Structure 1
Amino acid sequence: MSKLMSKAKIGLIQMCSTEVLQHNLDYIEQQVKTLSEQGCKVVVTPENCLMFADKESYQALAEPIGTGPVQQALSSIAAKYGTWLIIGSFPTKASAEKLYSTCLVYDDLGLLVTSYNKIHLFDVDVDDEHGSYRESDTFAHGSEVRVVDTPAGKLGLSICYDVRFANLYREMRIAGAEVIIVAAAFTAVTGEAHWETLLRARAIENQVWVIGVGQCGYHSHSRQTWGHSMIIDPWGSKLTQSAMTPGNLQADIDLSEVERVRHLMPVSGHFHSL
């Protein structure tokens, strides 16, 4: 179990992000202020929280990791309200042509302590108004698992489509994860069908807390996301859940539950390679 503390309050910001950076940034700061005043030690935002747009817009917004005015603004928010801030995804520069979809983790002093580049890119056809999604046209694949010590325990980082790939979460568990973040912009169609099931499966398989925080509502006439952010305990039970409107939710993360569930059902000791 994490040596930092056994209990911590974690806050989630569900968003309907737009193409306007300052609008999204202002909303994040407003919600961080509210959640920090309510005692949250860690605050998590969804995928595409700073901008929900297109390839050209992401390329214009992108910064080298660890530098740039947007990342400085995020650092300042974390430091101002004295809370860890996890940015679900932000476009960072991978090369002249490609970007990474990067999760950023700031501590309560505003320091960027780690980042995670999305490994699994959403190249899928969906039966909705948008139809075809091709993240690889804009982004490069990440390659490294990330687990970081925070006041809410050892957090494994993941982004949206990653949640369908169970082996990634097993690697996080092996690396010591007690809590897993899934920052998402699930489509309304795939979200209704699979979002809760996948989150609960990852919690049950790995006996970890799972924090699923999503985009919600219409971002354009053809882009609708599912919302329904939720916090799931290591037994797979939902503690709290939002619906399909922007807002926040919070819950106390008790890391002793991880230890208790793993002791009662020691599945990691029963694993056998085939």
Structure 2
Amino acid sequence: MSRIVNVALGQLGPVQRSDTRERVVARLCEMMREAHALGAHLIVYPELALTTFFPRWYLEDEAEIDSFFEREMPNAATQPLFELSRQLGVGFYLGYAELAEEGGTRVRYNSSILVDRGGRIVGKYRKVHLPGHAEHEPWRRFQHLEKRYFTPGQRFGVTQAFGGTIGMAICNDRRWAETYRVMALQGAEMVLIGYNTPVHNAPAPQHDDLSLFHNQLSLQAGAYQNGCWVAGVAKGGLEEGVDSIGGSLLVAPSGEVVTRCLSKDDEVAIARCDLDFCAVYKRSTFNFDLHRRPEAYGLIVARKGETLAADGTPWRD
């Protein structure tokens, strides 16, 4: 018997700095209702969905920075989304800025959660590949200060949910082959990815006209080479004067795009995903146990002084 998950892409249009959490959550709820009417079991929302993309500004006031972060989830502002999830039986992926307490120290993460059809949090992920820079660079039209505001996450994991094995990633993670491979080695059948991607790439403006192409290329390659479904969902449009791509889409294990959003506004698109279809690739072309040769790969130098084992995990002597 096939394992079917009807997945909705819950693309957001711009979220301005003046927009309250409550206003954004109301938009998310409206999209969840639309997704439910279309038969969705799961709706995927973007990265940092609850606020404007604040890393575009250089901020020094700690209280001002903290105002963009969530100290708990759910909280008063997001509770209606969880209640609606329980009421409708629609799960969701949600990206947000997380302020955590670890050993008495405050730590900021770019995070996402996976919520099941009963409104329960069943998985959390913290963004590993932080792009951008850490200090103010006045030559840019706008900043991209993720390295200033966030601590990198430590691992890619998977969650048993929606009848299968689900992985999560965020934005820049989608560009790195190891993101998908490490989760695929844990059996991932579907990877959910929210993103905020500006059209303009300040360090490499020659990439601007390729933004949508590179987005789709990354998602299709990750899906095909790992035999899994991949849902990539944007927050797009003109937000605080910065134009961001939309291009939300859902890719099958074959690498084929099965549905996409057509605008840069709030939009819902849905597709029927058969998790058993992953086996067509995981048991043939990309049968890792049969065809991979990790003994031939050796150690991969990840950064100066660090190494990864052949399966992408941190090397341990």
Q: How far apart are the structure 1 equivalents of 2:231 and 2:245?
A: 15
2:271 to 233, 247, 251: 251
2:214 to 179, 189, 194: 194
1:11 is matched with which residue? 8
Corresponding residue SS for 2:253: coil
2:92 is matched with which residue? 85
Shift of 1:131: 4.6
2:100 to 91, 94, 98: 94
Stretch moving more, 75-84 or 57-66 = 57-66
AA of the residue aligned to 2:132:
D
Matches within 5 A, 1:1-274: 6-16=3-13, 17-19=15-17, 20=19, 21-54=21-54, 59-66=66-73, 68-87=75-94, 89-94=95-100, 98-123=107-132, 130-151=141-162, 153-188=164-199, 189=208, 191-221=211-241, 223-246=242-265, 247-268=267-288, 269-273=290-294, 274=297
After the TM superposition, which segments of 4 or more aligned residues of structure 1 sit over 6 Å from their partners?
none
Corresponding residue SS for 1:30: helix
Query: Taking structure 2 as the reference length, what is the TM-score of the superposition?
Result: 0.78
Shift of 1:62: 2.1
State the Cα deviation string for residues 192-247 of structure 1 (Å, max 9, x = none). Answer: 341011111101111111111111111111x2211111111101011111133221
Relative to 1, partners in 2 of residues 1:41 and 1:161: Cα closer, same or farther, differing over 3 Å?
same
Supply the RMSD in Å over aligned alpha carbons: 2.4
State the Cα deviation string for residues 128-179 of structure 1 (Å, max 9, x = none). Answer: 9745412011111111212112226321100000112211211100111001
Query: Taking structure 1 as the reference length, what is the TM-score of the superposition?
Result: 0.89
Q: How far apart are the structure 2 equivalents of 1:272 and 1:166?
A: 17
State the Cα deviation string for residues 229-273 of structure 1 (Å, max 9, x = none). Answer: 111110101111113322110000011210112233244121123
Corresponding residue SS for 1:79: helix
Tell me if the contact between 2:130 and 2:152 (Cα under 8 Å) persists in the aligned partners.
yes
Corresponding residue SS for 1:94: strand
Corresponding residue SS for 1:91: strand
Which of 1 and 2 has greater Rg?
A: 2
Q: How far apart are the structure 1 equivalents of 2:284 and 2:179?
A: 24
Aligned residues: 268
Tell me if the contact between 1:59 and 1:91 (Cα under 8 Å) persists in the aligned partners.
no
Q: How far apart are the structure 2 equivalents of 1:52 and 1:255?
A: 34
Of all paired residues, the percent bearing the same amino acid is 21
Tell me if the contact between 2:11 and 2:46 (Cα under 8 Å) persists in the aligned partners.
yes
Corresponding residue SS for 1:40: coil
AA of the residue aligned to 2:48:
N
Gaps of 5+ in 1: none
Q: How far apart are the structure 2 equivalents of 1:30 and 1:67?
A: 18
Corresponding residue SS for 1:171: helix
Gaps of 5+ in 2: 200-207, 298-317
Corresponding residue SS for 1:176: coil
